[in-house]
């Protein structure tokens, strides 16, 4: 309904009729009008956006983390945001009704559904306008923070266009030559250097000998530095980095080792997500016209693919700490819209009692745990039904101007409808 009203508004009201737009907008879109005067939601005009993705995170992942981290009566910070709703996630893929991260992030960044593997191109491979570049054109600063490769599907969709998400060196090239985000922090150094040219992160590390430099676009780190980026590869270098264009790569690939329990699984990022988020906000916030920051915890998805409940809980805790940083920023800057969601479910997770009579426990339907419920003598198990993605809805929570628009259930393309109101404005 909101989509139809906005389309009608565009048809009825010339863009130059500012006063008339305000009046008609209040009539046609009472939710938006009411939101502007709601202090609890950060009333007023939004200038900046912090968009947080728990990759692979649906309601069950959040509930397991809530019990584990805060207890029966506790609440995660991401669930304390005053507005909540649901997003559906299906792609437009001829082979499946279940999305991958590329199609899901493309829906957010462009407002168009597409096939799995597509990075901000339509079903025919035609490049689509993307919010990361539109925000830059509107004079805003832009940035991305992730524990995945910085060129992985979810961040890539906001800042690049390619028919195949696997072309990560091409995505990196587009960051430097086309979309030019001001802050790029995460993993994936291998894609920024040509084969045989190891960087700060050595080729073939003991924890995963398959990791090694593999780019085909030249030495993109050198190119980034020539373009004015500071390059950092350790927590200490990041802490010392001055404000300005910043590229930080803190691992060969993802910033962790995703494997089943006890098989070399490690979640110990060289720089934690909260620290990267804080540094990005400190840098981007100097722009008086505002900014767009994409923040992602990739570990939820990768460890859910392995049905590794213990590491999933670690990853959600990492995300929770980053949300705390973001929410503190919003408290001091109420002209910022904060949105927390997931791109899709991974693992078909449910949270269950520890009953020994449960029918699960073998093959793809396995139980993890038991895990303690914080502050009590109770326990729960995490029961997986698949190692892949599922089509269930994902929760979305929000705070700040326009946040009430996320109330209710919407397709994932609706994210674009809301965010574009902030990021394409030159005011």
As annotated, the binding site for Zn(2+) includes 55, 301, 305, 343, 389
CA pair distance 188, 181, nearest whole angstrom: 16
Instruction: Give the residue from 184, 177, 176 showing the smallest Cα distance to 155.
Output: 184
Burial classification of residue 264, based on how many CB atoms lie within 10 Å of its CB (0-12 exposed, 13-18 middle, 19 or more buried): exposed
Q: Do you know the residue count of the chain?
A: 427
Q: Which two tokens stand for residue 273?
A: 């997500």
CA pair distance 59, 392, nearest whole angstrom: 9
- Residue 307 to residues 100, 127, 189, 195, 266: CA-CA distances in angstroms? 17, 35, 27, 33, 14
The residue written with tokens 């692979």 in the block is 56
Element (DSSP H or E) covering residue 319: helix 309-332
Main-chain phi, psi angles of 101, to 5 degrees? -65, -35
Binding-site residue positions: 55, 152, 154, 296, 301, 305, 343-344, 389
Binding-site residue positions for Mg(2+): 55, 152, 154, 296, 344
Is 101 a residue of the active site?
yes
CA pair distance 23, 9, nearest whole angstrom: 11
Instruction: Give the residue from 289, 322, 311, 396 showing the smallest Cα distance to 144.
Output: 322
Element (DSSP H or E) covering residue 350: strand 350-352
CA pair distance 327, 365, nearest whole angstrom: 36
CA pair distance 399, 388, nearest whole angstrom: 31
Element (DSSP H or E) covering residue 137: helix 131-137
Among candidate residues 48, 88, 90, 101, the one labeled active-site is: 101
CA pair distance 367, 200, nearest whole angstrom: 39
CA pair distance 173, 316, nearest whole angstrom: 31
Element (DSSP H or E) covering residue 239: helix 235-240
Main-chain phi, psi angles of 362, to 5 degrees? -145, 160
Dihedral sign from CA coordinates of 187, 193, 194, 198: negative
Active-site residue set: 101
């Amino acid at each position: 309904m909101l989509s139809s009203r906005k389309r009608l508004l565009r048809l009825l009201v010339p863009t130059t009729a500012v006063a008339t737009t305000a009046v008609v907008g209040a009539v046609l879109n009472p939710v938006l009008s009411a939101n502007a005067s709601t202090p609890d939601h950060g009333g007023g005009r939004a200038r900046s956006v912090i968009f947080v993705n728990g990759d692979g995170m649906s309601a069950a992942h959040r509930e397991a983390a809530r019990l584990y981290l805060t207890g029966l009566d506790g609440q995660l910070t991401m669930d304390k945001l005053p507005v909540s709703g649901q997003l559906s996630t299906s792609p437009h893929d001829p082979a499946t009704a279940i999305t991958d991260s590329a199609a899901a992030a493309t829906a957010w960044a462009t407002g168009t559904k597409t096939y799995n593997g597509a990075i901000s191109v339509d079903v025919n491979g035609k490049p689509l306008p993307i919010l990361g570049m539109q925000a830059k054109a509107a004079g805003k600063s832009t940035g991305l923070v992730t524990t995945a490769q910085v060129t992985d599907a979810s961040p890539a969709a906001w800042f690049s266009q390619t028919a195949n998400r696997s072309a990560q060196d091409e995505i990196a090239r587009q960051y430097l030559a086309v979309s030019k985000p001001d802050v790029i922090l995460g993993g994936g150094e291998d894609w920024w250097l040509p084969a045989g040219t190891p960087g700060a992160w050595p080729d073939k590390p003991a924890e995963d000998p398959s990791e090694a430099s593999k780019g085909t676009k030249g030495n993109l780190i050198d190119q980034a530095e020539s373009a004015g980026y500071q390059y950092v590869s350790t927590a200490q270098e990041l802490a010392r980095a001055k404000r300005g264009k910043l590229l930080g790569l803190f691992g060969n690939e993802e910033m962790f080792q995703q494997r089943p329990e006890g098989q070399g699984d490690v979640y110990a990022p060289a720089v934690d997500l909260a620290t990267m988020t804080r540094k990005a906000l400190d840098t981007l916030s100097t722009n008086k016209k505002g900014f767009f920051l994409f923040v992602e915890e990739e570990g939820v998805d990768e460890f859910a693919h392995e049905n590794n409940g213990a590491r999933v809980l670690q990853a959600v805790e990492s995300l929770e700490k980053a949300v705390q940083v973001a929410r503190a920023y919003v408290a001091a800057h109420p002209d910022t819209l904060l949105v927390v969601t997931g791109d899709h479910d991974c693992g078909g997770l449910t949270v269950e009692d520890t009953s020994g009579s449960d029918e699960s426990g073998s093959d793809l339907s396995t139980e993890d745990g038991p895990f303690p419920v914080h502050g009590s003598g109770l326990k729960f198990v995490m029961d997986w039904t698949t190692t892949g993605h599922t089509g269930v809805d994902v929760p979305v929570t929000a705070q700040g101007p326009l946040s009430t628009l996320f109330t209710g259930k919407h397709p994932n393309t609706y994210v674009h409808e809301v965010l574009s109101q902030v990021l394409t404005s030159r005011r």
